[in-house]
Amino acid sequence: MISNHEIDYKIYGEELQFVEIELDPNETAIAESGAFMMMDNGIQMNTIFGDGSQQQDNSILGKLFSAGKRLLVGESLFMTAFTNVGQGKKKVSFAAPYTGKIIVFDLQQLGGKIIAQKDAFLCAAKGVSIGIEFQKRLGTGIFGGEGFIMEKIEGDGLAFAHAGGYVVEKELQAGELLKVDTGCVVAYTAGIDFDIEFVRGIKNWMFGGEGLFFAILRGPGKVWLQSLPISRLAGRLQQYTYHRKEEGSILGGLGNLLDGRE
């Protein structure tokens, strides 16, 4: 088995970040469509079917199955490979899709596998495999906020993910338990047991402003949490837009002038 390409990187920015990856000659990075920001002359772009990893079945049926799995997690059938075909080191950069932080996963140090929410992956060294992870408990998928299917990132190289708002990394000891809003879970290592718990007391749900379920994370392992899930931000924006429309043409226009939006 061929190991992952060993890439160097640097992350720029605070709330709106991008990662710059330095490639030696013949080294390759892979990324989701739309993540590309800029690159040096001498880097060649190629669209590939699947993730291009050595773990991928190269038969026609295997490629179709791999592509189908990517569709299940909301990703494109294709990824883009960026290869340094020139002389000397070359750089390529990938940008985060919304405000938040870029997380670096050194898979060799994390047991070779990370389970992440399905829209978290940004880019990786070639050789990293991007697949799907079915929740072991059906109830977790139905009520867990992020769906029955999550994304698994496997290999021994570097992978980069993106999360909303501030990101915190927590190390859970064996048996240690953490209760989290379901949308705030970005990723966790393979040793973490992930389940859901019903919020007891109907008034907590009706008047507390939270959902009906917690995500339950039990160690041992590492977990990465985000303070602002994109689904929460989108919901607030949708709610805001709806209320502005409901204000009517006269009061709505006056309101826009008063709060500085026109």
**For the segment 167-198, what is each residue's pLDDT rounded down to a tens digit?**
999 999 999 999 998 889 999 999 999 988 87
Is the pLDDT at 138 greater than 50, yes or no? no
Cα–chain-centroid distance for residue 244?
31
pLDDT of residue 259: 47
Choose among 156, 189, 160: nearest CA to 173.
189
Quick one: pLDDT band at residue 240, thresholds 50, 70, 90? Answer: low
Domain boundaries, the chain: 8-228
Mean pLDDT of 3-25: 90
pLDDT of residue 133: 81
pLDDT of residue 229: 83
Of 3.40.50.2300, 1.10.260.40, 3.90.79.10, 3.60.160.10, the CATH number of 8-228 is: 3.60.160.10
Angstrom distances, CA of residue 197 to CA of 89, 133, 144, 179, 213: 50, 20, 9, 9, 5
Quick one: pLDDT band at residue 213, thresholds 50, 70, 90? Answer: confident
The residue type at 18: F
Percent of the chain's residues with pLDDT above 90: 47
Is the pLDDT at 132 greater than 70, yes or no? yes
Q: Say how far apart CA 21 and CA 18 lie, in whole Å.
A: 10
Is the pLDDT at 67 greater than 90, yes or no? no
pLDDT of residue 177: 95
